[in-house]
C-alpha cells in the first residue's frame, strides 16, 4: 500500500501531538530502569567553549554514543538518516550527497574533534573516512558558523567528538554483520596513565553491493550497481603526554584506503580513495581560568583509477592518479575568564590548500589567514549573550567579515534564544582554476569547462528564534529560522554558436594553452560565476518524553522551504536535492535483570519528496524528476551481559527496513533510497577494562 504525502503530514502531526518525538537528547544511563532526560551533556560546538546542553546559548543537537549503540548504527550516513531529520542524502556511484536543511554538502562544515574533515569525491566530503567506533557524541550546529569556524559553515557544522577512555587499559572489539556481505569490524586498544595516553583504532568495512533494477527505462541492461562493492580500512593513532599539570602535548596520525570495485562488463578500472594525515598540538593552562591551545594538521587525500584490464595506454595493474588534495592548517586558540561572568576567546588560523588534477589541467594552491574573537557574557541573572566576529583573508576571494550575536533568556525550565550570524564560503580551487574538456554525446556537444579566478566568496545571513522547555521527564522545543544566501557560485553553459566572433576567439585563446588544437573543437563553454541567490525558511519541532518503567519515546519534525533563483529563467525553484518535510521517530525500552540488561530500540525515518529538476521546454521550464516520499523503520535489540568484573559482552540482533520499503524503478531514476529491502544483522561488542 502506498503512503502519499498527505498521509505523511497527518502522521507527523498526530505523533507530534501525541508525544512521540526524537530521543537524541536523551543520554540515558545504562542499567537504570527509571531514566531522566539528560541535559547535563557537555557540548562545545555552538560557542567553542564548554557548556551543558541545557545552558548553551546557541542551540545544538546532540547524538551520543549510547544513541548510536541503542539503534545498532555503525555508519555515519545511517546515523544521520536515522537520528537527524535536518540531514538527508542522495547517492551516486562515487559517494553520498549530503544536504542540511536544503543546502548541499559544500555548505556544511564537517569536523572531527574540531578539525576540518577534508578530501572529497565529486565535491562531496568522503564520509567513509569517519570512524564511528570511537564516537563519543556528534554535535550538530545549524546555520552560519563562520564566526568561529571560517569557510563552508553556511548551512551548519557537524562536529564528531571521539572518546578517550580513562581506564589504565581498555580493549574493545565491535563487529556487525548484515546481509549482502556488509561487514563492519572495529578494534580499539587504549592505554591511559596520569601522564601518558595511547589511543589506537582500526575499522574495516566491506559490502558486496547490490542492484535495485538491472535495466533502465529503455530496457537496456545497466551494469553499474546501485550500491557498489567496496572495501575500506581506517586506522587512527593518538598519543598524549602531560609532563606537568598545566601543560600537555599530543601527536596523532591516520591512514585511510577505500576501493570501489566496478563491474568488468562495463568498466576497465576500479575506483580508489586514500589518505594519510598527521597532526600535533599542545595545551597550556596556567590557571583554571585560562587555556591556550596550538594545533597543526596536514592531510593528503588521493583519488585514483586502479586498472584491471587494458584501456588505451593503461595495462592491468596500472594506477592513474585522478586527483590529489592537500590541506595544511595551523590554529592558535586562547580562552580567558577575566571575570566570573565572562569568557573571552581569541584565535588565529592559517590554511593552505592545494589541488592537483591532471585531467583538468589544474595544479594550484590557495592560502587563507584568519583572526577571530568572541565574548560570552552572563548578566541580570537570567541572560547570556555571545558576540563574535571573524576576519578572513583569502588569496583570491579577498577579505571577509563574519559576525554573530546570540542572546539567551534562561529560567529553571525554559530557554529562549535569538541568534543572528553571517557566513561565507570561499570558492574552491576547482571553481577558480578548473579546466576540463569532454565529449558528452559526441563531437556536436564538446564542452570546455573553465574556472574563474575572479570569483568572490559566497555569503549568507542567518537568523533564528528558539523556545525550549525541559524538566526531568520531558523536553520540547521549537525553532524558526531564515537563511539567505547571495553570490552563490554556479556554472553556466553557453553554446559557441551563440557567441560573437570576438567572444569565440577569446575562448579559443584561453583554451589553447591547455588543450592545444582541440580548442577548435569546442562547441559549448561552461564557466563558473557568482550569479545565484537562495533563501531557506524553516521550522523545527522536537518533543522528548520519558514514559517510565524503562520506556522512552521521542523524535522531531523538520520543515525546510529551500529555494534558489535561476538566472537563466529568472524563476524561483526548489534547490536541487532539497527535502521540504522530514521527521524521525524513536522508541526505546531498557530493562535489567541482575547481570543481564535488555535494550530494544525502534526508529523510523519519514521523508517527503527529494527535489530533482531538469530543464524543460516551452511552457514547462522544469521537469520534475524528484525522488518520492517514503517511510522506513528499523528495529535493534541489544543484550548486555556483565558476568565478569572487567569483561563485558554485548550481542545484538536487528532488522533494517522492517516493512521492505524499496525503490526498484528502472536504473537511472532518482531513488528515494538505495536500501536493498529488509535486511537482518547481528552484532557483538566485547570490551575489557582494567
Task: Determine the pLDDT at residue 435.
Answer: 81
- CA–CA separation, 144 and 420 (whole Å): 9
Q: Which band of pLDDT confidence, cut at 50, 70 and 90, is reported for residue 485?
A: very high
Residue 279 corresponds to which cell in the numbers above? Answer: 597532526
pLDDT confidence of residue 18: 35
Name which of 56, 138, 71, 186 is nearest 637 in CA terms.
71
Query: Is residue 121 pLDDT above 90, yes or no?
Result: no
Domain count across the chain: 1
Instruction: Return the closest-CA partner of residue 666 out of 71, 2, 212, 59.
Output: 212
Closest-CA residue to 94 (of 132, 129, 126): 126
Domain with residue 46: its CATH number is 2.40.170.20
Whether pLDDT at 330 is above 80: yes
Residue 176 has pLDDT above 60, yes or no: yes
Closest among 582, 587, 565, 584 to 574, alpha carbons compared: 565
Helix (H) or strand (E) holding 83: helix 76-83
**3-state SS assignment for residue 196:** strand
pLDDT reported for residue 39 = 65
**pLDDT range class, residue 599, cuts 50, 70, 90:** very high
pLDDT of residue 506: 82
Per-residue model confidence (pLDDT) at position 61: 92
Q: Are 611 and 626 within 8 A, CB to CB?
A: yes
CB 159 within 8 A of CB 45: yes
Domain boundaries, position 684:
5-689
CA quadruple 297, 203, 224, 674: dihedral positive or negative? negative
Q: How confident is the model at residue 1 (pLDDT cuts 50, 70, 90)?
A: very low
Residues forming a β-bridge with 306: 270, 319
In contact, 549 and 588? CB cutoff 8 Å: no
For the beta carbon of residue 607, count every other beta carbon within 10 angstroms: 24
What are the tens digits of pLDDT across the range 31-75?
A: 343 334 556 788 898 889 888 888 899 989 999 999 999 999 989
Distances (CA, A) of 281 to 199, 239, 284: 16, 11, 10
Listed range (176-180, 355-359, 503-507) with the worst mean pLDDT: 503-507
Q: Could you read off the pLDDT of 283-326 as tens digits, one per residue?
A: 999 998 999 999 999 999 999 999 999 988 999 999 999 999 99
Segment 15-40 shows an average pLDDT of 40
pLDDT one-digit tens code per residue, 243-285: 999 999 999 999 999 999 998 888 899 999 999 999 999 999 9
pLDDT digits (tens, 9 = 90+) for 74-102: 899 999 999 999 999 987 655 678 999 99
Asked whether residue 589 carries a pLDDT value surpassing 60, the answer given is yes
- Measured CA to CA, the distance from residue 252 to residue 491 in angstroms comes to 39
What are 379-415's pLDDT values in tens digits? 998 999 999 999 999 998 889 999 999 999 999 899 9
476: confidence class by pLDDT, cuts 50, 70, 90 = very high
Apex 39 CA angle, 33 and 43, nearest 5? 130
Amino acid at each position: 500500500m502506498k503512503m502519499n504525502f498527505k498521509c505523511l503530514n497527518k502522521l507527523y502531526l498526530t505523533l507530534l501531538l501525541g508525544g512521540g518525538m526524537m530521543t537524541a537528547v536523551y543520554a540515558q544511563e545504562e542499567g537504570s530502569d527509571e531514566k531522566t532526560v539528560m541535559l547535563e551533556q557537555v557540548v562545545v560546538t555552538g560557542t567553542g567553549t564548554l557548556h551543558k546542553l541545557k545552558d548553551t546559548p546557541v542551540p545544538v543537537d546532540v547524538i551520543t554514543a549510547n544513541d548510536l549503540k541503542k539503534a545498532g548504527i555503525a555508519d555515519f550516513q545511517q546515523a544521520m538518516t536515522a537520528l537527524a531529520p535536518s540531514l538527508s542524502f542522495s547517492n551516486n556511484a562515487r559517494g553520498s550527497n549530503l544536504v542540511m536543511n536544503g543546502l548541499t554538502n559544500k555548505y556544511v562544515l564537517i569536523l572531527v574533534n574540531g578539525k576540518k574533515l577534508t578530501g572529497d569525491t565529486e565535491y562531496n566530503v568522503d564520509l567513509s573516512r569517519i570512524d564511528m567506533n570511537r564516537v563519543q557524541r556528534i554535535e550538530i550546529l545549524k546555520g552560519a558558523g563562520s564566526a568561529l569556524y571560517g569557510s563552508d559553515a553556511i548551512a551548519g557544522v557537524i562536529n564528531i567528538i571521539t572518546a578517550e577512555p580513562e581506564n589504565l587499559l581498555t580493549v574493545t572489539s565491535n563487529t556487525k554483520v548484515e546481509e549482502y556481505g556488509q561487514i563492519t569490524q572495529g578494534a580499539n586498544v587504549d592505554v591511559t596513565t596520569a601522564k601518558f595516553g595511547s589511543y589506537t583504532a582500526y575499522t574495516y568495512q566491506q559490502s558486496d553491493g547490490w542492484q535495485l533494477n538491472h535495466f533502465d527505462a529503455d530496457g537496456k541492461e545497466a551494469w553499474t550497481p546501485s550500491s557498489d562493492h567496496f572495501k575500506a580500512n581506517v586506522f587512527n593513532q593518538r598519543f598524549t603526554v602531560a609532563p606537568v599539570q598545566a601543560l600537555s602535548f599530543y601527536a596523532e596520525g591516520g591512514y585511510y584506503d577505500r576501493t570501489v570495485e566496478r563491474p568488468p562488463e562495463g568498466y576497465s578500472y576500479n575506483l580508489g580513495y586514500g589518505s594519510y594525515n598527521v597532526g600535533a598540538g599542545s595545551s597550556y593552562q596556567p590557571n583554571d581560568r585560562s587555556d591556550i591551545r596550538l594545533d597543526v594538521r596536514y592531510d593528503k587525500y588521493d583519488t585514483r583509477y586502479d586498472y584491471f584490464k587494458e584501456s588505451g595506454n593503461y595495462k592491468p595493474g596500472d594506477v592513474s592518479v585522478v586527483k590529489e588534495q592537500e590541506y595544511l592548517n595551523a590554529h592558535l586558540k586562547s580562552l580567558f575568564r577575566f571575570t566570573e561572568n565572562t569568557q573571552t576567546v581569541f584565535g588565529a588560523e592559517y590554511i593552505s590548500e592545494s589541488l592537483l588534477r591532471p585531467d583538468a589541467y589544474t595544479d594550484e594552491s590557495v592560502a587563507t589567514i584568519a583572526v577571530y574573537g568572541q565574548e560570552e557574557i552572563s548578566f541580570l541573572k537570567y541572560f547570556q549573550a555571545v558576540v563574535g566576529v571573524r576576519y578572513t583573508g583569502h588569496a583570491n576571494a579577498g577579505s571577509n567579515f563574519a559576525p554573530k550575536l546570540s542572546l539567551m533568556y534562561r529560567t529553571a525550565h525554559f530557554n529562549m534564544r535569538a541568534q543572528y550570524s553571517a557566513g561565507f564560503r570561499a570558492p574552491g580551487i576547482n571553481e577558480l582554476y578548473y579546466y576540463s574538456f569532454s565529449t558528452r554525446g559526441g563531437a556536436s556537444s564538446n564542452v570546455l569547462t573553465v574556472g574563474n579566478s575572479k570569483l568572490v566568496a559566497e555569503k549568507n545571513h542567518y537568523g533564528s528564534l528558539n523556545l525550549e522547555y525541559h524538566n526531568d521527564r520531558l523536553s520540547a522545543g521549537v525553532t524558526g529560522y531564515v537563511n539567505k544566501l547571495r553570490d552563490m557560485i554556479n556554472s553556466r553553459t553557453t553554446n559557441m554558436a551563440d557567441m560573437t566572433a570576438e567572444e569565440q576567439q577569446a575562448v579559443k585563446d584561453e583554451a589553447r594553452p591547455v588543450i592545444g588544437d582541440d580548442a577548435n573543437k569546442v562547441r559549448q563553454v561552461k564557466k563558473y560565476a557568482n550569479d545565484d541567490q537562495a533563501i531557506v525558511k524553516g521550522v523545527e519541532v522536537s518533543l522528548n518524553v520519558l514514559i517510565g518503567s524503562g520506556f522512552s519515546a521521542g523524535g522531531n519534525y523538520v520543515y525546510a522551504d529551500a529555494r534558489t533563483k535561476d538566472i537563466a529563467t529568472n524563476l524561483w525553484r526548489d534547490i536541487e536535492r532539497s527535502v521540504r518535510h522530514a521527521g524521525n521517530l524513536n522508541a526505546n525500552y531498557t530493562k535489567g535483570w541482575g547481570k543481564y540488561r535488555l535494550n530494544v530500540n525502534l526508529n523510523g525515518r519519514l521523508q517527503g519528496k527529494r527535489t530533482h529538476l531538469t530543464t524543460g521546454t516551452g511552457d514547462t521550464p522544469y521537469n520534475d524528476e524528484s525522488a518520492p516520499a517514503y517511510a522506513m523503520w528499523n528495529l535493534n535489540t541489544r543484550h548486555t551481559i556483565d558476568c565478569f568484573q572487567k569483561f563485558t559482552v554485548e550481542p545484538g540482533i536487528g532488522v533494517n527496513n522492517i516493512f521492505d520499503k524499496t525503490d526498484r524503478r528502472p536504473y537511472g531514476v532518482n531513488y528515494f533510497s538505495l536500501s536493498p529491502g529488509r535486511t537482518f544483522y547481528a552484532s557483538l561488542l566485547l570490551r575489557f577494562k582494567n
